[in-house]
Structure 1
Amino acid sequence: MAEVGIPKVSVVVPAYNCGPHIERLVASLLRQSLPPDDFEVIFIDDGSTDETAERLDRLAAEHPHVTVLHIENSGWPSRPRNLGIEQARGEYVFFSDDDDWFADEALERLYACAKANDADIVVGKMAGYGRPVPRELFRKNRFDATLGNSPLIDSLTCHKLFRRSFLNEHGLRFPEGGKRRLEDHSLVVRAYFLSRRTSVLSDYTCYHHVQRGDARNVTAGPLDPSSYYASVREALDVVDANTEPGPLRDRLHRRWLRNEMLSKLRGKRLLNVPEAWLEQVALETQEIIQGRFASGVAGGLPPLLRAVAYLAERGRVADLRRLAHWEAGIAAHGTIDELRQADHAVTVTVAAELRSADQPVGFRADGDRDVLILPMEEIAPEVLDATAQVRKARLDLVARHRETGVEIFLPNTFQTERITGTTGADTVHLVHRATVTIDFAALNGGRTSGRWFLKARITNVGWTEDVRLPLVFICPADGSRPRIRDERKVWNRVRSAVGRRIKR
């Protein structure tokens, strides 16, 4: 114990009409390697009308380190979380959702990281299921992360470890009063600026973040653009109060432009939204770009996103639709060029490229510039200048554990080849090739039992696209040599069998 009678960690969980979805969280908390005497779990039942209250009361009766607070329905997680902070006794507080779950050693590792680095905040690696989670932030451990030296701004949900005295010292609480989307953004951004030290724990997946299949998370309903962008402006206010005009402020602003504005005006997400909703989101985006952002905010985006911002700033809603139809076809395509196995190590060479409707994403030569080719001509060439991004294009290979969702970046060597396009000598497309050797005796700290598959992840000109590769590595629990299932051969056998049946 940190102090006699003081838990190391308090886990605060707002709960509302969870049904069976809470069971996975409960099971994960009961499996924690941190002893029960060292942490507490505080469920705040937000006026549930199903069996949630009774289920939680039974849990608390069976486990002394679990408590339940019943309140009238507030309709949003903010008030339950704030009440949880007031009830908490732990040295640190972690905010969890009722349908997510923890890895078995999560609390122990998060607390150890906090103590080793004297951190006010610890951001543990997350795995997402139907929900986006940061990628670049978790590429490596960062024990002294700041908004200036790391992509910390990519993680703005509250699912983190906070020193309780730090929350109280600065009066850090969630905004209450109705349904306040992005309610955690203002708190988390303020916390980042105030934190004496923030650590990022990336070598262990701590938290599993879920979008329920029945879409009944409290925050899963359609957003109201007016209140949503009011919350965006509040978060921008926090940034402006703590930074001077310049590159850092532009980079932080860019996060909201990219995630909360442009992401809603592009690709598949845009195709089926009501016209009135689209026009309102486009108008809110236009007003924020024109009224709040310096030119460097959109200027620092890759060309595809610069194009979306360019159209939004000019109110060209019909062109946003046209571009979205084209972008909806974008996907990564990958092939296995070579596969070799030696004992526990497997070496794989992969080729991958971006395509739209089976046509490679292309670039047109314009002097010394590579200009992204889009299905419209009415965008200034400098907006579509992709030269810097083409040079920085990257192919990552990622191992994903099928049973747990754990993802691990694999060190690789890669190169990018420029292929002359079919429409003329002045057009090219890019093919990326990477080679990786995976030592399954050491991968994930030796925790390899189960099935692993590979993904190729292309990052270029505004897209980060994954393609699953047709290999499955089956690792026995006894640590013996992994077995490889080459799904290319399986599909070849299926195609041959289908062909024989058709001939008969």
Structure 2
Amino acid sequence: MPHFLRGSITLAGPAVSVVIAAYNAMPYLTRCVTSVAEQSIGRDAVEIIAVDDGSTDGTGEELDRLAREYPELLRVFHQENSGGPSAPRNKGLDHARGTFVFFLDADDYLAPEALERMVAMAEENGTDIVLGKMVGVGGRGAPTSMFRRNQPRTDVFSSRVYWTLNPMKLFRRELLERLELRFPTDLKIGEDQLFVGPAYIHANGISVLADYDCLFWVEREDSGNITLRTGGSEPRLRFLPRVVDLLLEQVPPGPGRDHLAHRHLTVEVQQLLDHLVREPRTEQEKGLARLAEVIDPLWHEGLNDRLSAMARLRLHLVRHTMLDELLELVRFQGELAGSGIATPVLVDQGRAYARYPYLRDPSRGIPDSCYDVTRQLGVRHRVTRAELRGTVLHLAGHGYLHRVATDDVSTELVLRERDSGTEHRLPVTPTMTPGLGAEEDKGRYRYEKAGFTASVDITTAGGGSPLPDGLWDISLAIGAQGVSREVRIGGRRDAEVSGAAATHLVGDGDGTRAVTLYTTTPHGNFTLDIGERKHRVPAQLSLRSPRWAPGAATELEFTGRCTVASFPDGALAVHLEDGRGGTAVFPARPASHSGGDFVVRVPVTELPAGLWRGQLRLGPWATDLPPVPANLAPAGWRRRGLPWYAKPVREREAGFALRVARTDLVRAVKRRLMP
């Protein structure tokens, strides 16, 4: 858990001012305030400013009671009801003294370490805004797309933070005061977008804290949350034009503006239409005309690549004020959401089109591009076998395009070298997959010919030649009925298919090469490492210092571990040289407990006289032998009746050195006779 240091704060006052706007918030209010009072950051680092916005249910009285319980922590203000959260939030902000401000709705509550972690992230990364992970409670949906991973420092244009525009975030107060930001008081909803949006755009860095549940976003049992009880299209048509003007004024045209516009052209437009369909016809016509006018400055053809087919169709109907068609589309979406079955597609000339209402209806003239889901087709795949045997990679599994029947299958295996982009497409053998698809879409779509097997010989996979050294990512180009989508494979695999790196030493005619089949982090997709780009063979060899073998006083024993998955018989051995042309080779054999452990025994009685040095070799790879321990006693034996010995040699350079020689009897006698 990070630790917050008060010494890191440069401004006077508490670290965080928590502003709570409260209106008829009982009984949720007590938990809300208590969750702030019990924050791990400590009460000396927090102040709570609660504003009772004319409550009638005892909220004001409970705030006063809590203020007596936490007199140095909680300040309470009472005011006439303002009709929305803007005025009480503004009042709280006006009285805030903290380096940071956190806006907390009275229905919601914080996790114990939320403020400590968010403040620490802001200070460590010098960011102006921190998004703490939100969790829905009581059925309330919380935003998720921006919380898939921690982001220490990002911005509004290169992340998904703009998809959450509520103010329940940590703001550096200096940013808010520099921009003179306050919540507009003339809006019932959308006021948060006009506050948070400019803060995002002008922030000096934004942090996302995704590995800790910071804020619990509660849906009240009486559905009394302001955004849940404010219905109708009119309130939304009041704030949306101002948001559009904000983007036009503060963000220049280009990818950045398009990124932010995407959010409003999808989320806000759909929500507004959901309300519009429940209104009288005259209001629908007027509202639709106004909506078309509002979105016109944001929309252009280049946005289509960012949008789903449904969003493209919806915007086309809005821009052309096709009210009846929009009403039918909203009805269709409602039925689709409750059906559990994805919309069928029409496949034509290598493209897939969703069968949404009015597809190729000549009386409407809606372009096919509004229905094109080719790039959105779900790709389903699974690997059931992935292993190297010799020079051949064996793969098996299945792959299909969601909603596209497996007719005229054209699936291929794709090997692509990561750095150069060189690719080789190899055929697969189709296999039958009876029943595949029965558990999806209520069994409406079946994929009986989605299976594949492939055998890839690395000595010929490069267009008849060996694959060059490199990292070869493995993909599947899944094709049927002329439609094709490519996907990396391995992330979805059977439990018995290992993703652990396995290095094999194989011969390809030009010698021995290392080939490693492994899965990437974090996605778990298969890649072939040819030529030790990431998986070095010497790093997979380890050897312990030698000793005399138990029960064999003249056999020097090396024990070690080799994690290379396969190599030619006899390739792993200790090689000794005496410096005068003499050599000796002693092969390794598996240790009794195996698992990659091995043992090599060197019978020194077989070595001619000389100073022997050596290496552990595995084919063309080698690693020096460890030195003989200084406390290892010499070994002695008799050869043809004469005494011989083997003993370690102490030399300046580290390494294995063993002297084998015949004992000089004259010297031995002299040493014994010397006093």
CA deviation after TM superposition for structure 1 residue 223, in Å? 3.7
Contact 1:122–1:199 under 8 Å retained in 2: yes
Distance in 2, Cα, partners of 1:28 & 1:102: 5
**Structure-1 residue corresponding to 2:35:** 28
Secondary structure of the equivalent of 1:96?
strand
Higher helix share: 1
1:106 aligned to 2:114?
yes
Distance in 2, Cα, partners of 1:323 & 1:283: 17
Alpha-carbon distance change, 224 to 179 in structure 1, aligned in 2, over 3 angstroms:
farther
Unaligned runs of 5+ in 2: 1-5, 383-396, 407-443, 447-479, 496-675
Contact 2:189–2:236 under 8 Å retained in 1: yes
**Structure-1 residue corresponding to 2:168:** 159
1:371 aligned to 2:371?
no
The one-letter amino acid of 2:369's match is E
The one-letter amino acid of 1:324's match is V
Distance in 2, Cα, partners of 1:263 & 1:364: 28
Which of 126, 134, 151 does residue 142 from structure 1 map onto?
Answer: 151
**Structure-1 residue corresponding to 2:607:** none
Contact 1:18–1:52 under 8 Å retained in 2: yes
Deviations 1:292-327 (A, max 9, x none): 422333553110111111222222222222222332
CA deviation after TM superposition for structure 1 residue 14, in Å? 0.5
Alignment root-mean-square deviation, CA = 3.3
Which of 13, 20, 38 does residue 13 from structure 1 map onto?
Answer: 20
**Structure-2 residue corresponding to 1:390:** 377
The one-letter amino acid of 2:183's match is F
Distance in 2, Cα, partners of 1:40 & 1:229: 37
CA deviation after TM superposition for structure 1 residue 132, in Å? 4.0
The one-letter amino acid of 2:204's match is R
1:259 aligned to 2:290?
no
Q: TM-score, structure 2 length as denominator?
A: 0.53
CA deviation after TM superposition for structure 1 residue 193, in Å? 1.8
Higher relative contact order (CA 8 A, sep 6+): 1
Secondary structure of the equivalent of 2:105?
coil
Secondary structure of the equivalent of 2:13?
coil
Deviations 1:339-386 (A, max 9, x none): xxxxxxxxxxxxxxxxx7354432211212111122433332121111
Deviations 1:416-445 (A, max 9, x none): 5455188999699x9x995699xxxxxxxx
Alpha-carbon distance change, 280 to 299 in structure 1, aligned in 2, over 3 angstroms:
farther
**Structure-2 residue corresponding to 1:78:** 86
**Structure-2 residue corresponding to 1:470:** none
**Structure-1 residue corresponding to 2:336:** 330
- Structure whose alpha-carbon radius of gyration is higher: 2
Q: How does 1:227-376 map to 2 (within 5 A)?
A: 227-265=235-273, 275-298=281-304, 300-331=306-337, 357=339, 359-376=341-358
Distance in 1, Cα, partners of 2:136 & 2:494: 24
Distance in 2, Cα, partners of 1:120 & 1:74: 29
Between 235-244 and 275-284, report the one with greater CA deviation. Answer: 275-284
Contact 2:350–2:481 under 8 Å retained in 1: no
Distance in 1, Cα, partners of 2:381 & 2:318: 28
The one-letter amino acid of 1:245's match is P
Between 85-94 and 279-288, report the one with greater CA deviation. Answer: 279-288
Contact 1:75–1:179 under 8 Å retained in 2: no
Alpha-carbon distance change, 94 to 252 in structure 1, aligned in 2, over 3 angstroms:
same
The one-letter amino acid of 1:361's match is T
Contact 1:371–1:384 under 8 Å retained in 2: yes
The one-letter amino acid of 1:304's match is M
**Structure-2 residue corresponding to 1:420:** 405
Contact 1:286–1:314 under 8 Å retained in 2: yes
Deviations 1:388-425 (A, max 9, x none): 11267899xxxxxxxxxxxxxxxxx9965455188999
The one-letter amino acid of 1:95's match is F
Alpha-carbon distance change, 30 to 287 in structure 1, aligned in 2, over 3 angstroms:
same
Deviations 1:21-62 (A, max 9, x none): 223313322332121121111100112122111110010111
Distance in 1, Cα, partners of 2:84 & 2:323: 32
Secondary structure of the equivalent of 1:114?
helix
1:127 aligned to 2:125?
no
Contact 1:44–1:69 under 8 Å retained in 2: yes
**Structure-2 residue corresponding to 1:401:** none
The one-letter amino acid of 1:381's match is D
The one-letter amino acid of 2:112's match is D
Deviations 1:243-285 (A, max 9, x none): 222222122112111111124436xx77755545544443332
Secondary structure of the equivalent of 1:43?
strand
CA deviation after TM superposition for structure 1 residue 222, in Å? 3.3
Contact 1:364–1:427 under 8 Å retained in 2: no
1:38 aligned to 2:45?
yes
**Structure-2 residue corresponding to 1:181:** 189
Secondary structure of the equivalent of 2:181?
coil
Alpha-carbon distance change, 94 to 282 in structure 1, aligned in 2, over 3 angstroms:
same
- How many pairs were matched up? 392
Alpha-carbon distance change, 389 to 35 in structure 1, aligned in 2, over 3 angstroms:
same
The one-letter amino acid of 1:53's match is G
Identity, % of aligned pairs?
34
Deviations 1:128-177 (A, max 9, x none): 2444433221111112211221112112111110111221122111112x
Distance in 1, Cα, partners of 2:257 & 2:66: 46
